[in-house]
Structure 1
Amino acid sequence: MKAAVIDSYKQPMPEIKAVALPKVRPNDVLVKIVAASINPIDLKTKDGGLKMLLKYDMPLILGSDFAGIIVEVGEQVNGFAIGDAVYGRVQKNRIGTFAEYIAVDTGDIALKPKNTTFEEAAAIPLVGLTSYQALHDIMNIQPGQKVLIQGGSGGIGTIAIQIAKHLGAYVATTTSAKNFELVKSLGADYPIDYRTTNFAEVLADYDYVFDTRGGKALEDAFSIVKPGGKVVSISGLPNYRFGQEYGVPLWKKLGFRFVTRNITKLEKQTGASYTFLFMKPSGPQLALLGQLIETGVIKPIIDRVVPFADIEEALTYSQSGRAKGKIILQMTDDSEK
């Protein structure tokens, strides 16, 4: 099969080459991938930015989520059959969706929403699960509570706004003025032009902040959150509690404590809590998101669909940070679906 492969960290771009089909484990299905989405984590993985958390053997096929058709099932598989259209986010130690096929555990997939194309379905798994786990599982948003979602027009933001509104929140979001109509159409109540306005100067007494930026934006989040509120970040740094939850070695936990000492200080000063979110694949949660899509509660937002052969173009565009919603790789021609 063809796959986008890197042979070392910081390789400028992956190379499309022929590789062996993945082996199917007893609880796996083999999926012919129709579409895959590009996420910032793919670029961080390529550049070695996650080595403190994840270290991969080379060569490595990139890619984290997908939609496609099951072509083989493992001997212990129940609930899925050959021919099923599915979507999913693979486990972090089994990435490789920028390929024609992927072997994936059935616990990490769900049936594709019936009212979506494969490209639309591929836009959901990583950003949908990340947003749901931040807003529902960690924040436990209740109707009437206020949340700031950073980067409202991006892949995460466009889904997070919709989920937050579904949960009954009042949503502020940062984006550029040209994207105000987009984020308002998704339910945002208060769009803020990050180019002209510092959100920390216009917001106060928020229950939650969903941070997708890290750095100063993450630190500023504590100035708007009320005591007892929560700041959840996917772009900050893991803290000691994260190390405890994931059972990482002691030296890493101590390292996390050192690099997040400023965040720990802000937690104590404001009475808010900080959580670094490392999203977990979940077939059941994907099934729930699929129901929300089928009932029109949320919808995928796609910036562009790019043929697999043009993956370099797609990754370069992703690096620009200008995408509105998701960038999708079309792995299979329409005639082959």
Structure 2
Amino acid sequence: MKAVLLKQAGGPENLYLADIEKPSIKNNEVLVAVKAISLNPADVKPKYNNEMLSMMYGKERPVVLGWDIAGTVTEVGIEVSDFKLGDKVFGMVNFPGVGNAYAEFVAAPEAHLAKMPDHTSFEEAVATTLAALTALQILSGKINKGDKVLIQAGSGGVGHFAIQIAKSFGAYVITTVSEKNKDFVLSIGADEAIDYRTQNFEDVLSDIDFVLDTQGGKVLENSVKVLKNGGAVITTVGLDLPEEITALAAKENKSVSNILVHSSNQDMNILKDMLENGEIKPHIYKTFPFEKMAEAHTEVEKGRTVGKVIVTL
């Protein structure tokens, strides 16, 4: 089968197309003929850092990157009960871990997938994986109807799902965004949009119940400052929180924590239902063919993506 491999740490030029052996499946897995792949910062950033690559994928090279897939089940393990041959499925495979998603076929645990909603394309389904799971796992159980919620970088992959999910939970949603993307975030449910290039959100906001941060650094620090007493911020950036930020939060009776998204068919099925009833709709920014994976990586690396970048097979 065809797969895109990374031969060594470095830029998109180190990605190349090759023939490798089709994976075999375990008893609790299905084999998916992949039709679409979604790219994330978690795909593109680690490839530059050999230490991070080794931590995530092991020391052997080359490696197959990626976790987000949508496709059709072509083989079913003997312990699998939820899926049958021909089912259209989507999910984030083996995160954190090795997903081997940049390939024509992927072996995926049953517990990481959901059936695709009817009338949803492979591109739309695969867009609703890691980024949507991150937003859902951060927001579930954390916000209540009527809460004032701030979503940092609302036009990005995680951000645009977070706006829609927070709105479906009944929150009043504020987001930071560039002027050119204001209309987009308002169209998907944001109640207010702050242009981060002309306004400092910490100067105009206060008494926020919850902040979803995807930026880290000074943005995370200022996110703590706009929280009300007892408010909370969860960030997707970094495994270790800066001491000065946690100290600031504790002093003001606020909480700050981080999260690492994890594969879950339970959460994937929640996203499936939300897709079906129109509570969320992925925005596909650009689509690339499988042979142009390096170009897709370059697009994500620009940091200007509105919604998701998708690769199709």
Q: Which TM-score bucket, shorter chain as reference?
A: over 0.9
For the 8 Å contact 1:222–1:270, the answer to whether it is kept is no
Shift of 1:133: 0.5
For the 8 Å contact 1:172–1:192, the answer to whether it is kept is yes
Once the two structures are superposed, what CA deviation does each residue of 1:156-203 show, in whole Å capped at 9, x if it has no partner?
A: 111110000000111110111111111001110110101111111111
For the 8 Å contact 1:214–1:233, the answer to whether it is kept is yes
Q: Distance in 1 between matches of 2:299 and 2:200?
A: 26
Match of 1:107 in 2: 111
Counterpart pick for 1:218 among 217, 220, 225: 220
Q: Give the percent of matched residue pairs that are identical in Structure 1 and Structure 2.
A: 40
Counterpart pick for 2:127 among 113, 123, 126: 123
Shift of 1:296: 1.1
Amino acid corresponding to residue 32 of structure 1 in structure 2 = A
Amino acid corresponding to residue 175 of structure 1 in structure 2 = V
Q: Distance in 2 between matches of 1:63 and 1:214?
A: 23
**Is residue 262 of structure 1 aligned with residue 244 of structure 2?**
yes
After superposition, residues 149-228 of structure 1 pair within 5 angstroms as: 149-228=151-230
Sort the Cα spacing of 1:3 and 1:283 in 2 relative to 1 into closer, same or farther, 3 A.
same
For the 8 Å contact 1:44–1:50, the answer to whether it is kept is no
* Aligned length, in residue pairs: 309
Q: Distance in 2 between matches of 1:16 and 1:213?
A: 32
Match of 2:286 in 1: 304
Amino acid corresponding to residue 215 of structure 2 in structure 1 = R
Once the two structures are superposed, what CA deviation does each residue of 1:128-177 show, in whole Å capped at 9, x if it has no partner?
A: 1100110114x2x1000011101111111111100000001111101111
Which consecutive unaligned segments of at least 5 residues does structure 2 have?
none
For the 8 Å contact 1:238–1:260, the answer to whether it is kept is no
Moved more, 104-113 or 49-58: 49-58
Match of 2:264 in 1: 282
Please give the secondary structure, in 2, of the residue aligned with 1:61: coil
Q: Distance in 2 between matches of 1:55 and 1:98?
A: 14
Q: Distance in 2 between matches of 1:12 and 1:304?
A: 17
**Is residue 69 of structure 1 aligned with residue 69 of structure 2?**
no
Shift of 1:10: 2.6
**Is residue 294 of structure 1 aligned with residue 276 of structure 2?**
yes
Q: Distance in 2 between matches of 1:52 and 1:206?
A: 39
Sort the Cα spacing of 1:275 and 1:166 in 2 relative to 1 into closer, same or farther, 3 A.
same
For the 8 Å contact 1:36–1:98, the answer to whether it is kept is yes
Match of 1:251 in 2: none
Q: Distance in 2 between matches of 1:11 and 1:22?
A: 26
Amino acid corresponding to residue 299 of structure 1 in structure 2 = K
Match of 2:255 in 1: 273
Q: CA RMSD in A?
A: 1.5
Q: Distance in 2 between matches of 1:52 and 1:5?
A: 15
Shift of 1:76: 1.3
Shift of 1:311: 1.1
Counterpart pick for 1:132 among 129, 136, 140: 136
Sort the Cα spacing of 1:315 and 1:180 in 2 relative to 1 into closer, same or farther, 3 A.
same
**Is residue 8 of structure 1 aligned with residue 8 of structure 2?**
yes
For the 8 Å contact 1:64–1:96, the answer to whether it is kept is yes
**Is residue 97 of structure 1 aligned with residue 98 of structure 2?**
no
For the 8 Å contact 2:65–2:98, the answer to whether it is kept is no
For the 8 Å contact 2:152–2:214, the answer to whether it is kept is yes
After superposition, residues 238-249 of structure 1 pair within 5 angstroms as: 238-239=239-240
For the 8 Å contact 2:12–2:297, the answer to whether it is kept is no
Shift of 1:50: 4.1
Amino acid corresponding to residue 94 of structure 1 in structure 2 = V
Amino acid corresponding to residue 124 of structure 2 in structure 1 = E
